[in-house]
Amino acid sequence: MDELFPNELKARLEQIREADIVVGIPSYNNARTIGHVVRAVSVGLAKYFPANRSVIVNSDGGSKDKTQDVVMQAESGADDLLLVSHPVHGSYRISTPYHGVPGKGSAFRTIFAVAHHLKAKACVVVDSDLRSITPGWIELLARPVLEHGYDYIAPYYHRHKYDGTITNGIIYPMTRTLYGKSVRQPIGGEFGFSGSLAGRYLEKDVWDTDVARFGIDIWMTVTAIAEGFRVGQAYLGAKLHDAKDPGADLTSMFRQVVGSFFRLMESYEGIWKSVNSFEQVPMFGFPFEVGVEPLTVNTDRMIQAAQQGVADLREIYSSFLSPQTLVDLTTYVHRNGQGFHIPDRLWVRMIYEAAIAFRYRTLDRDHLLQSLVPLYLGRTASFVLEVTESNASQVEERIEQLGQVFESEKSYLAQRWDAARKENLHAQPV
Amino acid sequence: MRSLFDRMLIDPFNRLADQSAHVVPILIMVLVTLIIGGFLAFVARWLTYRLLQAARFDRLVQRTGFSSMIERTGVFRSPSDLGARFVQALVWLFVILFALTAADTPATAGLVLRFVEYIPNMIAAGLVLLLGAVVSRMIARSALLAAVNAQWPAARLIAGGVRILVMTLAVVIALEQLHIGSLPLLVAFAIVFAGIVFALAIAFGLGARDMARQWLEAKVRHSVAEEEVFRHL
């Protein structure tokens, strides 16, 4: 793993030698916000883990806005606090460029390698554009790992009802259905995990795939669940982050996240086929009501995108959607205004049929994922129109209902998956 | 002294008989070769069709998206039919070459030699066309998806244009391989293509200047606004 480290980092790690906690912050041009994140992390480590050796690692993707300087110069913030216990060791701070494919996953890989090298007992990763992070987040993400024997802690936030639509519409209900653990924010971005799990991540040969980009979050979560690591979640309040997310255009983000999820279905086929129910994951922290930032969504534009997609991409859809699904899609998608609606069952079947097509390469995988974007926008518009008047708990119930449809249709997925495998075997050239 | 009758009638007849004795067996052999070859070609087509059907070749091709293209030609019933007829044509080609060789005349020998020397060019041209068809399809599909996801109204037109462009280039390269004058085609294509681009630029620049400005402004404002208010992950 040492080949991932520049010489300067190697020398620094030799000085530090060992650490109990490593906190990783991936960044790319986040000078505006990363200072706050570093201060919150420093205070969190000083306040909650004064007796532990800790290291803050900023893994940077070549920022041009002096992000790395901001990280190194940010005040620790701990001097202004009245601490019951003063830090015995203090926390080290490292800012290093990462190697490999530019993306969040590659930045995480360097953080995993640092944690592994320093034999860290717990590792925490947090986004560099967070505005709502508090020192308490570090405790909530690290303590279950350090003191309660957990291997993976996912975040749990309150979010606006229109926020996190890939999570709510695909990733959360599908993770729950396929892998049997109800992790509400599987691609939340902030995680705590054990040193042994970091080591396991490093063993995987995925760093040239979309896991090196936005696929990292779902890959970490599913790997932890599917490989039997002990999983929990921590209540962090609200997640507010910087409005601008560099390089985060919808098509590539969607492709990377959903593509990684579909690829994991291939890797863990035996696991998800054997799961018949799901269980709640233990929650750390004290849930409380928080206000969230208002969001506005242009549903007309999304509906237009879906309608154009169904009109222009019909040939592509007919290559992987079943005839009945295609007929239903065409029927529903051409209703305008408030009448526009994509029912849960249709949505779930489209996603399942796409997963099967991805597995058996019915068409080019990249094209398949890109073709799902208009459908996703249509489904998002449908969801937004449906919950316009709903409050947070009603929206949560609605998402639970969708999860139940994913579960009830799982037999459809398994049956078609096996049928596609048989067809695929027979279709091999003689 | 031979009579005039012998010289005028018997001698030419004998010469004709001699020449016929040399040519007729060759013609019979060519005819028999063609009949047997035709039968073999038919058997090869039938066998190939059965084999491709058994191997579910149609389903395999369906995945590449070429099926509809093949069926749309109205000549072939299915990809298996196309494959079987291709094999039949190949067998016919070899039968004809064999028959020409059997004729054993300077003209046919030269023809066969030239044809055999030309085969590599034909294969190269065929491969270029096949590759062009595959690549043009892939690129056109990528363009279509990108245009649809960017919500451009003329997405299919753009994809079609891309496909024609790539395929035209493949045809020009294939013609080059076959030593058939491709330069006029290339020049004609370049003139037409440049003309279209120039016409569009003028039309857009003069006729829709305000619309272009408004569209760009709306695009920039819209994308920034959307990034600011909506997160998907």
Which tens digit of pLDDT belongs to each residue from B42-89?
A: 999 999 999 998 888 887 777 666 666 666 656 667 888 888 998 999
Q: How far is B75 from chain A (nearest CA, A)?
A: 22
Does residue A201 or residue B119 have the better pLDDT? A201
Whole-angstrom distance, CA of residue A194 vs CA of residue A202: 13
The type of residue at B181 is: G
Of the listed ranges A56-60, A75-79, B72-76, the one predicted with least confidence = B72-76
Q: Does B144 touch chain A (CB under 8 A)?
A: yes
Cβ–Cβ gap B51/A374 under 8 Å:
no
Residue B110 lies in a domain: no
Q: Does B148 touch chain A (CB under 8 A)?
A: yes
Does residue B218 or residue A63 have the better pLDDT? A63
Whole-angstrom distance, CA of residue A262 vs CA of residue A258: 6
Q: Does A299 touch chain B (CB under 8 A)?
A: no
Cβ–Cβ gap B230/A245 under 8 Å:
no
Does residue A138 or residue B15 have the better pLDDT? A138
Confidence of residue B145 (pLDDT cuts 50, 70, 90): very high
Residue A217 clears pLDDT 90, i.e. is over it: yes
Are B95 and B2 contained in the same domain? yes
Residue B91 has which token pair? 């067998």
Are B195 and B175 contained in the same domain? no
Q: Taking residues A249-277, report their average pLDDT.
A: 94
Cβ–Cβ gap A313/B145 under 8 Å:
yes
- E-only strand ranges, A86-229: 91-97, 122-125, 152-158, 181-182, 191-194
Confidence of residue B111 (pLDDT cuts 50, 70, 90): confident
Percentage of residues in chain A having pLDDT higher than 90: 77
Q: Does A332 touch chain B (CB under 8 A)?
A: no
Cβ-Cβ contacts under 8 Å, B135 against chain A: none
Q: Does A250 touch chain B (CB under 8 A)?
A: yes
Confidence of residue A271 (pLDDT cuts 50, 70, 90): very high
Residue B24 clears pLDDT 60, i.e. is over it: yes
Cβ atoms within 10 Å of A297's Cβ, excluding its own: 21
Of the listed ranges A138-147, A288-297, B55-64, B117-126, the one predicted with least confidence = B55-64
- B154, closest residue in chain A (CA to CA): A312
Q: Does B72 touch chain A (CB under 8 A)?
A: no
Whole-angstrom distance, CA of residue A275 vs CA of residue A224: 15
Percentage of residues in chain A having pLDDT higher than 70: 93
Residue B11 has which token pair? 């001698």
Cβ–Cβ gap B229/A301 under 8 Å:
no
Percentage of residues in chain B having pLDDT higher than 90: 22
Are B5 and B93 contained in the same domain? yes
Does residue A338 or residue A248 have the better pLDDT? A338
The shortest CB-CB distance from B156 to any of A305, A312, A426 is to: A312
Confidence of residue B229 (pLDDT cuts 50, 70, 90): very low
* Length reported for chain A: 430
Are B33 and B100 contained in the same domain? yes
Are B49 and B142 contained in the same domain? no
Cβ-Cβ contacts under 8 Å, A163 against chain B: 230-231
Confidence of residue A48 (pLDDT cuts 50, 70, 90): very high
Are B48 and B98 contained in the same domain? yes
Last residue of a domain, one of B72, B104, B136: B104
Confidence of residue B153 (pLDDT cuts 50, 70, 90): confident
Per the structure, the count of domains in chain B is 3
Cβ–Cβ gap A244/B156 under 8 Å:
no
Cβ-Cβ contacts under 8 Å, A364 against chain B: 138, 141
**Where do we find the tokens 């639970």?**
A400
Cβ–Cβ gap A370/B149 under 8 Å:
yes
Residue A191 clears pLDDT 90, i.e. is over it: yes
Cβ–Cβ gap B55/A430 under 8 Å:
yes
Cβ-Cβ contacts under 8 Å, B145 against chain A: 313, 316, 367, 370-371
Does residue B33 or residue A82 have the better pLDDT? B33
Residue A429 clears pLDDT 50, i.e. is over it: no
Residue B220 clears pLDDT 70, i.e. is over it: no
Q: What is the pLDDT of residue A20?
A: 96
Which residues contact residue A314 at a Cβ distance below 8 angstroms, ignoring those fewer than 6 apart? A326
Residue B111 lies in a domain: no
Are B156 and B217 contained in the same domain? no
The shortest CB-CB distance from A308 to any of B54, B55, B151 is to: B151
Q: List C-alpha distances in Å: A244 to A12, A29, B168, B173, B223.
A: 32, 10, 43, 47, 11
Confidence of residue A373 (pLDDT cuts 50, 70, 90): very high
Are B98 and B12 contained in the same domain? yes
Cβ-Cβ contacts under 8 Å, B65 against chain A: 315, 319, 363
- B142, closest residue in chain A (CA to CA): A367
- B233, closest residue in chain A (CA to CA): A164
Residue A126 has which token pair? 């947090």
Q: How far is A425 from chain B (nearest CA, A)?
A: 10
Count Cβ–Cβ pairs < 8 Å, chain A vs chain B.
88
Of the listed ranges A34-48, A68-82, A90-104, A105-119, the one predicted with least confidence = A68-82
Cβ–Cβ gap A165/B232 under 8 Å:
yes
Q: Exposure of A412 by Cβ count < 10 A (0-12 exposed, 13-18 middle, 19+ buried)?
A: middle
Residue A239 clears pLDDT 90, i.e. is over it: no
Q: Taking residues A200-224, report their average pLDDT.
A: 96
Q: Provide CATH 3.90.550.10 ranges for chain A.
A: 2-284
With left for phi above 0 and alpha for psi between -120 and 50, is residue A258 left, alpha or beta? alpha
Cβ-Cβ contacts under 8 Å, B51 against chain A: 430
Q: Does A214 touch chain B (CB under 8 A)?
A: yes
The torsion angles phi and psi of B10, rounded to 5 degrees, stand at -65, -45
What are A298-334's pLDDT values in tens digits? 889 999 999 999 999 999 999 999 999 999 999 999 8
Residue B150 lies in a domain: yes
Cβ-Cβ contacts under 8 Å, A308 against chain B: 148, 151, 153, 155
Residue B114 lies in a domain: no
Are B25 and B49 contained in the same domain? yes
Q: List C-alpha distances in Å: A284 to A136, A142, A222, A287, A366.
A: 12, 11, 20, 9, 38
Confidence of residue A126 (pLDDT cuts 50, 70, 90): very high
Q: How far is B30 from chain A (nearest CA, A)?
A: 36
Are B29 and B88 contained in the same domain? yes
Cβ-Cβ contacts under 8 Å, A162 against chain B: 230
Q: Does B40 touch chain A (CB under 8 A)?
A: no
Does residue B220 or residue B119 have the better pLDDT? B119
Cβ A379 vs Cβ A256: under 8 Å: no
Residue A243 clears pLDDT 50, i.e. is over it: yes
Q: What is the pLDDT of residue A19?
A: 95
Residue B157 lies in a domain: yes
Are B44 and B87 contained in the same domain? yes
Confidence of residue B224 (pLDDT cuts 50, 70, 90): very low
Q: For residue B232, how many C-alpha atoms fall within 13 Å in the half-sphere facing its CB?
A: 24
Cβ-Cβ contacts under 8 Å, B232 against chain A: 164-166, 250, 253-254
Q: Is residue A284 classed as helix, strand or coil in its secondary structure?
A: strand
Q: What is the DSSP letter of A248?
A: -
Q: Does A166 touch chain B (CB under 8 A)?
A: yes
Q: How far is B55 from chain A (nearest CA, A)?
A: 5
Confidence of residue B102 (pLDDT cuts 50, 70, 90): confident
Residue A158 clears pLDDT 60, i.e. is over it: yes
Are B124 and B222 contained in the same domain? no
Q: In terms of CATH, what superfamily is A2-284?
A: Spore Coat Polysaccharide Biosynthesis Protein SpsA; Chain A (3.90.550.10)
Q: List C-alpha distances in Å: B141 to A123, A228, B88.
A: 43, 41, 33
Confidence of residue A405 (pLDDT cuts 50, 70, 90): very high
Cβ–Cβ gap B233/A430 under 8 Å:
no
Whole-angstrom distance, CA of residue A95 vs CA of residue A214: 21
Q: Taking residues A388-407, report their average pLDDT.
A: 94
Q: Does B107 touch chain A (CB under 8 A)?
A: no
Q: What is the pLDDT of residue B217?
A: 66
Range of the domain at B127: 119-181
Q: Does A430 touch chain B (CB under 8 A)?
A: yes
Q: Does B15 touch chain A (CB under 8 A)?
A: no
Q: Does B157 touch chain A (CB under 8 A)?
A: no
Cβ-Cβ contacts under 8 Å, A297 against chain B: 229-230
The shortest CB-CB distance from B56 to any of A214, A371, A427 is to: A427
Q: Does A429 touch chain B (CB under 8 A)?
A: yes
